[in-house]
Each structure stands twice: as C-alpha cells, then as structure tokens.
Amino acid sequence: MPERPARSFPGRPVADRLSLSMRASHLLVVLLVVAGLALAALGSALGDTFYLRLATEALIYAGLALSVDILLGYTGLLSLGQALYFGIGAYVSALTLMAVPSFWLALLAASGATLVAALIGGVIANRVRGVYFALITFGLAQVVAKVVYNTRELGASDGMIGVPVVEVPLGPFHVSTGSAPGFLLVALALLVLLYAVSAYLLDTPFGRVLIALKANERRVAFLGYSTWRARMAAYVLAALVAGLSGALYPMLRGFVSPELLYFQVSGNAVITVVVGGVGTLVGPIYGAILLTVLKSVIGSWTEHQLIVIGVLFMASVLFLPQGLIGLLRPRLARWLGRAEPPPAKAAEAEARP
Amino acid sequence: MADLVSYLQFVLAPQVVNGLALGMAVVLVALGLTIIFGLLDVINMSHGEFYAVGAFIALALGWLGLSFWLLLFLVPLLMIPFGVLTERLLIRRVYDGPDRHVTTLLLTFGLSLIIEELLSIVFGPNTQRPATPLRGAVELAGVYMPVYRLFLIGIGVVVILAVAWIVYRTRLGAMVRAAAYDRDMAGSLGVPVSLVYSGTFAFGLMLAGLAGVLLAPIYSVFPTMGRDFILIAFTVVIVGGMGSIWGAVVAGLALTQVQALAALVISPVWTDPIVFGVMVLCLMFRPQGLFGRLGHA
Amino acid sequence: MTGQTPPVLAVERLGIAFGGLRAVDDVSFEAGRNRITTVIGPNGAGKTTLFNLISGALRPNSGHVRIDGREVTGAAPAALLRLGLARSFQITNLFFGLTVAENLRLAAQVLEPTVRAFLPVRRARVARARVGELLERFGLAAKAAELAGNLSHGEQRRLEIAVAMASRPRILLLDEPTQGMSHGDTEDTAALIRALAADVTILLIEHDIGLVMSLSHHVVVMHQGGKLAEGPPEAVRANPAVQAAYFGHA
C-alpha cells in the first residue's frame, strides 16, 4: 500500500477487521486447494474413484453451503430453500448436456436460468424479512419441487438419467467429467472461483452495504443505499453460487432427481453453514467436507448418521456462534495481521452461557 | 338431475367429510404451532416430530394393552415433560441472544432431526398402523361416512373450543396473552413469566401429541410422519396469521377443503403446489395473515 | 426572502395521520442556508415524526418537502441522502458490531465514484480520507479501532452525528443529539454543532432550552402535531401561546 491518506490512528492496522478475517479465510482456502491437489494425485495413483467422487460431491455441496452463508452470514437472511437454485442449476445443466454435450454451455445455461429464477424469487421473497423470509424461501422451493416432481417432461419423480460424460475444455487441456481425479479438480476450481468472487465482492463498498444490512438495515437506507436493491443483489449472488454448484451435479452423478430441490438439501446446507461457521465463507466449505466425511464414516457403522449430525448442529448453534472455523480463524487472523483480538468476539463469547 | 344427486352423494359429500377430518387434524397440529409462535416468537420446526412422538407413544402403549380412550388423555399429559425440557434446556438458552428467531428455528430444526432418528432407532423405519378404535360407517342422508372420521371432526370441534376457552376466557389464558403482549410488563404485574413460557410450549406439544393419537389410526405411524404434516401446518399458521387461534382454525379448514375439492377437478398431485402457492402469495401480500396475532389484538 | 434563490429546505403544509391521530398537522417552515433551525415542543408534539417525514422514513399524507426548491416529497431516504440531506437518530442507531472507523467508512463510501463500489474497500481513497477528517473533527481518532458498541454514551452520540456528516450533506437533521449526555458533553456537542453550521444547514430537535436559545437562529414550536409558533429564539420565548403550551408544562 504505497499511499495511505489520513493515517489518523497511528499504530493501528489500516486494514479493517473484516478484511483481516477474510485473509485468514483465504489461507484456509489455499490449504484446501493443496489438499485437493494431493488427493487427486493420490487417488489417480491408487486408481481410486469412490473417494474422489465422494470428495467431488462434498465440494459441490460446499458451493451450496457457500450460497447459504452469503445470505445468512453476511446479509442476515436465513434461506430454507436454497436447494431451489441448486436444483434449477442441476436440471438446466442436465437438460443442456443431453441436448448439446458442452460443459461451458451447460454452465452458461445454468447460470442464465438461475439468474432469471433468482430475480423472480427475489422479488417474491424480499417482500418480507426474518422468519417470514425463511418460510417464504422454504415455500417457494417446495412449490417448485412439487411441480418438478409432477412434470413428466422433467422425468417426474424419477428425474432424468443418462446425462452424458463430456469433455471440459480448459485452454490447451481437456478433462473428462468421467475422470474422477480430473473432475474433482474441475469442481475444486469452480468452488475456489465462486469463493474468490464472493469474498472479493464482500470486501468492496458494494459488499459492505450487503453486510451492513445484517447489522442495521434501518440505518443503511440513511447512508444512501436502497435496502431493497442490496437485498436483491445478495439474493441473486447467492442464487448464482448455488446454481453453478448445482450445474456440476449431473456431470458427477449422471442424473438429476427432484430430491435435489427438497428441504433435506436446503436444510443440510444450513446445517453445513452453522457447523462450519456462519459468516466466514470458508467455514461452510470445510463444514461440507466434514459432514461428508462424518456421513460416510458413521454411515459405515449405522444408518442413523443424522443423529450425530443433529447433535453436532445443535451444539454449534448453542456453543459455537461462528462454528468450527470460528475457533480457528481469529487466531489465524491475529497471526496474519498482528491485530488486536476483535473485542466483539470476546464480548460475544462472554455473553453466552 | 339424478347424476347430480349421485355426484353429491358419492363423490362430493365424502370428499368434503374427508377434507373436514383432515382439516381438523391439521388444525390440531397448527394450533400448537401458532400458540408457541404467538407467545414465544419461536418457529417450532420440531413440531411435526412431536406429533410423531405422540403417535408412537400411543402406538407403544396400545401394544401394552392400554385403551385408545385412555391414551386420548394420557398421551397429551406425557408430552408435558418433553415441552418443559425443550423450553428450559434449549429455547431458553438462546432466547435473549441476538437473532433469536433464527437461532430458535435452527435449534428446533436440529431437534427435529434427532427425534426423527431416535424414533426410527426405537421403532424401526417401517410404517405401522394401529387398529381403528371405531369401526364401521353410518349413513347420513344417503351418504356413507366412516364413524371414526365423524368422531375426529367432533373431537376436533371440542378441542378447538376448549383451547379458545382456555386462551380467551380463563385467568391462565389472560396471563399467557399478557406475557405474549409484553413480557416485562406481565412480569412486573406478577405473571410467572418463566412458568408461562414453559407451560405454553408444553401446551403446544400436548396438542401435537393429541393430534398424533387421533390421526395414527387414519394416516399410519412412521418416523417421518411429521415432515409431511408440518408443511401444511406451517401454511395454515401463516395464512391464518402467525399466533392467531381463530386464524389457524379458519385457514386449516379452508385450505384442506380447497385441497380436497381441487382434487376432484385436477390431478391430486397438483393440490400440494396449490397449497404452497397460497402460502407464498399470503406471505407476499399479507404476511401478518388473515387474522391478528395472539395478544396483539 | 429575496425570491431569487429558494430556501435550502422548505416544508409546506406537511401532514400525516396514524389512524385518527394527526401526528403532524399542516406544518410549514423554511430552514435558511447554514443556519440552525430548532424544532421544539413537548413530548408527543410530533417532532420526530416531522423528521421522519422530511428524511423519507415516512411518507406524508399531505403537503410538500422541497430541497433548493426541488420537490422531494415522499422520496426514499437513500435518494434524499444523495440530494444532500442526512439525519441522525434520537435513539443511537449505529453499526454496533463495527469499529468507529468502519462505521464512518460505510457512511462515507457514497462519496466514492460508482465504479469504485466494485473495487476493494482499501482502494476507496475518498472515503478513507473522509474518515480521517471525521475522526479528527469529532475527536474520535483515539477510538477509531474501538467497536461502536463499546463506546461511552457520549461518544456514541458524537459518532451518530459524525456518521450523518460523513456524506458531506448540505442539510443535516439532528434528532436530540445531546440526549442523555452529561453537562460537559452537552457543551462540547453544542460547540460542535455551531461549528458544523459554518457549511451545513442544520435542523435540530432539542429539549434543553438553554441550548436552544444559545444555538438556534430560528425556532419552530410544535404542539399536538401542529405548528404553534416560529421565529427568532427570543421572540418565541416571549410568545404567550408558547409559554402557556410549552414552557408552562416544562
């Protein structure tokens, strides 16, 4: 930073707390990329596909969780129907691939459809706040899920199978969606991109307005910003993240089904965010990985994994307001910025029983 | 003309009666939900699971040979400890924290997952169906109607009136309404607010449990039975006005009739989207619902 | 009134009713450029409601609000802020989870050109410079990294004004800026407001009569939603109707 106008608080870091904690998140994402590359290398060396595909699925659901976190963690809006956009992304991607087997076209179509759906859904959902917002998003997703479930053209309750394996052209390289390590890297790249764009936007004045909505919506209007537009922007951004993540789903599994739009998927994403860390962006990503691991590990002993996940989730709500990442990130942030411990966190922790 | 009469007799009337029985069931579940929201401001996502708990308790005690008529009173009483514990151990912990609407919603959502799994561990995932305590059908103006459904409608009316009487006509109800309107003021006027909160939550669960006992013979008993029911119950609570008792009654009966009658005209698979559509429209244009909120006139 | 330049802020026959109650009833006045106009009146006279009507928080049922002669009645708060009208709140209305500097930066970022809205905040030079000025001017430099929620009441009230000033408004509405302040803090705040009036038109709600008399160029007296009187402070104080309705009760 060459020029620093108005350095009026000597000795204090100029970067604000949010930028600092974001830097800590970035570090954790770098770690994730390294782990992902290592896993892909290891997996392809050992000829494994099962664990690579499981990891890919975790990354896809991580994108959905990221989308929930943009709304809940930054703008303060709890969506209980984010699976709606995940599902729309997945269905449109599947339909596109079955018509024209092009990876980029599928992503483009999925984002286009998600954008349109989010504009409509946003106009509906943003008429209300708080729990009413939670319930209206829940209701919207249920309506669409039931419609899809009953629409023969979309395969009704069976969904659609036979989504072809396609090549993913990446400049000079080609990766097949059928290659387990290759597609893991594609999913990782998309997730990192979605994370980077979200983190970047939240660190701009535009993003700060979205964040201000959570803290004090009433005042935001008197700072010169339309709160409706800000909420819409957050809603559409989150929907696009969910839609693009969903677009990868049929490439991984080769099918789509109405279950993708169900409350279980939306609810799972909310659990992921809360366990991983609300308002941290990286927390939901690690949360998705943790939950996937937990499910498959516990799943090998018992089919009742939900009980463990439910307990973990409730414990997070009660005792870890910033989830698992909340335990880790302040230390990282302090180490990175040598900033003072954010007094808010300390006060918050003390205030909690 | 004869066609019309037989249509009324064999198609429309049974559908209306079935719709009414379902409506009463929905109202019972929705009443508990709306009372808990009206007083505690808590969206109880686990309400459907407590309905399932009531049904399973009834099922288990039925195996032990307890009569259905006894269970009708016993199961709601057995729900009280669940209600008090949930309120004291979970809801209360986060009640004064930031964002309590969202936090309590998340907590009860987590609870619903755990209850569902516990039921499935204890009773197995399969569907069970207790015997119908009242068999047979009666003929009324040429329309055959199952006795149990008529009984359900009757008891629904009794319970609704009893709840309305308790909430609007008794000292207890007055305390609850006072606490709903202004917790601090009610406290300073000598209302045992803490007790009222636990009591109200427990009361909501008693209604869910009662619904469980009553509906088990018709809709069967299985661990995820609450899921299907909670959707329509939420819709009813929203359309009726969150926290409004009469709103829940009117919306519950009306929406289930819409569902029942729509099923005659269009494919029944489309009735669910219609009901949710009503919920979304209601949230868009009249989020406060058709009726006012408990304690808020 | 020369008739040449319209007044910076003009309120004309403004009114709103809640149910049957006319909370603000047919109120008209003008605020002169870089002058302090104070609205006084007993509790429930409709002062804050009047502010809400002017600042766009509420839409009036009748009447007009004009800025520099331009009709802005019923405009949204965000639009009014961009026309140069900012306000503070009677009940401190800050971002308590953000630091003092972050509160100010958030409020100052409207000064930034629109394209910079999508550049990282650390690149927002205009806003950052403005934050530095505000921290100095409002004596909050030492508290820049403190959370707004951890400030003393007096400091929060000062930050409240600083946040309102961040966008360089031409018109500033201050709703009881000294509410709950100690005597010393009140004096400091009065000096600050007087200094602000050098380049801002100020509309003030204030209960401290001493302060009203010493600060105001013009006083508007409200009573039961309507305007009872207006004029220079001394004239208003001498007005028998005002004395009966307001000073008599106070």
DSSP code, position C85 = E
Per the listing, tokens 């003008």 go with C30
Is C89 inside a domain boundary? no
**Interface predicted TM-score (ipTM):** 0.86
Are C21 and C52 in the same domain? yes
A17 with C55: Cβ contact below 8 A: no
Contacts of B283 in chain A (CB under 8 A): 127-128, 132, 135-136, 139
Element (H, E) at C200: none
Separation between Cα atoms, residue B232 and residue B258, nearest integer Å: 12
Contact A305, A298 (CB under 8 A): yes
Helices (H), chain B: 2-6, 13-40, 47-63, 68-86, 92-95, 100-123, 147-169, 171-181, 183-188, 193-219, 225-240, 245-265, 271-285
**Residue B262 sits at the chain A interface (C-beta within 8 Å):** no
Are C100 and C75 in the same domain? no
A223 with C81: Cβ contact below 8 A: yes
Separation between Cα atoms, residue A249 and residue A269, nearest integer Å: 15
Contacts of A225 in chain C (CB under 8 A): 78, 110
Are C70 and C59 in the same domain? yes
Structure tokens at B88: 């004291």
What string of DSSP letters covers A200-230? Answer: HHHTSHHHHHHHHHHHHHHHHHTTT--HHHH
User: Parallel, antiparallel, or unpaired for β C21-31 and C9-18?
Assistant: antiparallel
Is A240 inside a domain boundary? yes
b/e sequence A222-238, b meaning 16+ C-beta within 10 Å? bbbbbbeebbbbbbbbb
Are C65 and C173 in the same domain? yes
Is A3 inside a domain boundary? no
B101 with A353: Cβ contact below 8 A: no
A140 with B280: Cβ contact below 8 A: yes
Helices (H), C113-180: 125-137, 153-165
Distances (CA, A) of B238 to B84, B181, B242, B251, B277: 25, 19, 5, 9, 12
Per the listing, tokens 């305590």 go with B133
B43 with A135: Cβ contact below 8 A: yes
User: Parallel, antiparallel, or unpaired for β C201-205 and C171-175?
Assistant: parallel
Give percent of chain A with pLDDT exceeding 70: 90
Contacts of A12 in chain C (CB under 8 A): 144-145
- Number of folded domains that form chain A: 1
Last residue of a domain, one of C110, C134, C168: C168
Contact B119, B211 (CB under 8 A): no
Contacts of B110 in chain A (CB under 8 A): 271, 310-311, 313-314, 317
CA A268 to chain centre: 12
Q: What is the pLDDT of residue C246?
A: 67
Mean pLDDT value of segment A216-220? 88
Residues 25-64 of C with CB under 8 A from A: 55-57
Closest CA to C46 of C30, C24, C19: C24
Residue A11 has pLDDT above 60, yes or no: no
Residue B204 has pLDDT above 90, yes or no: yes
Q: CB-CB: which of B101, B106, B235 is closest to A274?
A: B106
Q: What are the residue boundaries of the structural domains of chain B, listed by start?
A: 27-225
Separation between Cα atoms, residue A64 and residue A82, nearest integer Å: 7
Q: CB-CB: which of A142, A306, A314 is closest to B117?
A: A306
Last residue of a domain, one of C139, C168, C197: C168
A130 with B279: Cβ contact below 8 A: no
- Mutate one of A78, A126, A131 to test the B interface: name it (highest B CB count within 10 A): A131
Give pLDDT tens digits for A55-81. Answer: 999 999 999 999 999 999 999 999 999
- Which CATH number do you get for residue C197? 3.40.50.300
Contacts of B269 in chain A (CB under 8 A): 146, 149-150
DSSP code, position C205 = E
Contact B31, B160 (CB under 8 A): yes
Are C143 and C162 in the same domain? yes
Is A352 inside a domain boundary? no
C118 with A204: Cβ contact below 8 A: yes
Scanning every residue of chain A, which has its alpha carbon at the shortest distance from the alpha carbon of C93?
A: A219
What string of DSSP letters covers B168-229? Answer: HHSHHHHHHHHHHH-HHHHHHTT--HHHHHHHHHHHHHHHHHHHHHHHHHHH-B-TTHHHHH
Q: CB-CB: which of B107, B109, B284 is closest to A124?
A: B284
Task: Say which range, B132-141, B166-175, C155-164, has the weakest mean pLDDT.
Answer: B132-141
Q: What is the pLDDT of residue C99?
A: 87
A136 with B101: Cβ contact below 8 A: no
Q: CB-CB: which of A76, A135, A146 is closest to B234?
A: A135
Which is more confidently placed, B32 or B189? B32
Provide the 10 A C-beta neighbour count for residue C219. 27
Provide the 10 A C-beta neighbour count for residue C170. 18
C neighbours by CB contacts (3+ pairs under 8 Å): A
A8 with C109: Cβ contact below 8 A: no
Q: How far is A304 from chain B (nearest CA, A)?
A: 6
Angle at CA A301, nearest 5°, toward A296 and A304? 80
Provide the 10 A C-beta neighbour count for residue B155. 15
Separation between Cα atoms, residue A58 and residue A43, nearest integer Å: 16
Structure tokens at B161: 């009136």
Contact B295, B38 (CB under 8 A): yes
- Which CATH number do you get for residue A327? 1.10.3470
Is A42 inside a domain boundary? yes
**pLDDT tens, position by position, for chain C (250 residues)?**
455 688 899 999 999 988 778 889 899 999 988 899 999 988 888 889 999 999 999 999 999 999 998 999 989 999 999 999 999 998 888 888 888 988 999 999 988 888 788 888 888 888 889 999 999 999 888 888 888 889 888 889 999 999 999 999 999 999 998 888 888 888 888 999 999 999 899 999 988 888 888 899 999 999 888 888 899 988 888 888 888 876 655 4
Is C90 inside a domain boundary? no
Provide the domain limits for residue A236.
17-165+174-336
Q: How far is B269 from chain A (nearest CA, A)?
A: 7
Closest CA to B273 of A81, A140, A143, A259: A143
Contacts of A221 in chain C (CB under 8 A): 56-57, 76-78
Residue B297 has pLDDT above 80, yes or no: no
What string of DSSP letters covers C89-106? Answer: -SS----TTSBHHHHHHH
In a 13 Å sphere around the CA of A228, the CA atoms on its Cβ side amount to 11
Q: What is the pLDDT of residue A16?
A: 66
Q: CB-CB: which of A6, A16, A212 is closest to C132?
A: A6
Contact C50, C14 (CB under 8 A): yes
Distances (CA, A) of B159 to B22, B79, B250: 15, 16, 14
Is B245 in a helix, a strand, or coil? helix
- Number of folded domains that form chain C: 2
Reported as a pLDDT band with limits 50, 70 and 90, residue A342 is very low
Contacts of A7 in chain C (CB under 8 A): 132
Are C63 and C123 in the same domain? no
Contact B109, B45 (CB under 8 A): yes
B284 with A76: Cβ contact below 8 A: no
Per the listing, tokens 């407001």 go with C193
User: Parallel, antiparallel, or unpaired for β C85-87 and A160-161?
Assistant: unpaired
**Residue-averaged pLDDT of chain A:** 86
Is C106 inside a domain boundary? yes
Residue A237 has pLDDT above 90, yes or no: yes
- Mutate one of A198, A222, A226 to test the C interface: name it (highest C CB count within 10 A): A222
Q: What is the pLDDT of residue A15?
A: 54
Residues 64-123 of B with CB under 8 A from A: 90, 93-94, 97, 99, 101-103, 105-107, 109-111, 113-114, 116-118, 120-121
Separation between Cα atoms, residue B116 and residue B112, nearest integer Å: 6
Separation between Cα atoms, residue B270 and residue B79, nearest integer Å: 35
Structure tokens at C57: 């928080």
Helix axes B100-123, A263-276, angle to 10 degrees: 120
Element (H, E) at C65: strand C62-67
- Residue A15 contacts by C-beta under 8 Å, 6 or more apart in sequence? A23, A337, C122
Closest CA to B246 of B36, B43, B34: B34
Provide the 10 A C-beta neighbour count for residue B285. 8
Provide the domain limits for residue C118.
95-168
**Residue A9 sits at the chain C interface (C-beta within 8 Å):** yes
**Residue A351 sits at the chain C interface (C-beta within 8 Å):** no
- Residue A313 contacts by C-beta under 8 Å, 6 or more apart in sequence? A271, A274, A275, B106, B109, B110, B113
C125 with A3: Cβ contact below 8 A: yes
Is A350 inside a domain boundary? no
Closest CA to A210 of A101, A333, A106, A71: A71
Scanning every residue of chain A, which has its alpha carbon at the shortest distance from the alpha carbon of B268?
A: A150
Last residue of a domain, one of C140, C168, C196: C168
Is A348 inside a domain boundary? no
Give pLDDT tens digits for A169-197. Answer: 887 888 888 888 889 999 999 999 999 99
Look at chain A and count its residues.
Answer: 353
Contacts of C164 in chain A (CB under 8 A): 222
Separation between Cα atoms, residue A319 and residue B106, nearest integer Å: 13
Separation between Cα atoms, residue B234 and residue A128, nearest integer Å: 16
**Residue A45 sits at the chain C interface (C-beta within 8 Å):** no
b/e sequence A327-348, b meaning 16+ C-beta within 10 Å? ebbbebbbebbebeebebbeeb
b/e sequence A261-280, b meaning 16+ C-beta within 10 Å? bbbebbbbbbbbbbbbbbbb
Are C114 and C156 in the same domain? yes
Which is more confidently placed, B131 or A312? A312
Closest CA to B121 of A7, A304, C244, C107: A304
Is A64 inside a domain boundary? yes
Contacts of B239 in chain A (CB under 8 A): none
Per the listing, tokens 């309107």 go with B181
Closest CA to C199 of C244, C148, C133: C133
Is A118 inside a domain boundary? yes
- Mutate one of B85, B106, B107 to test the A interface: name it (highest A CB count within 10 A): B106
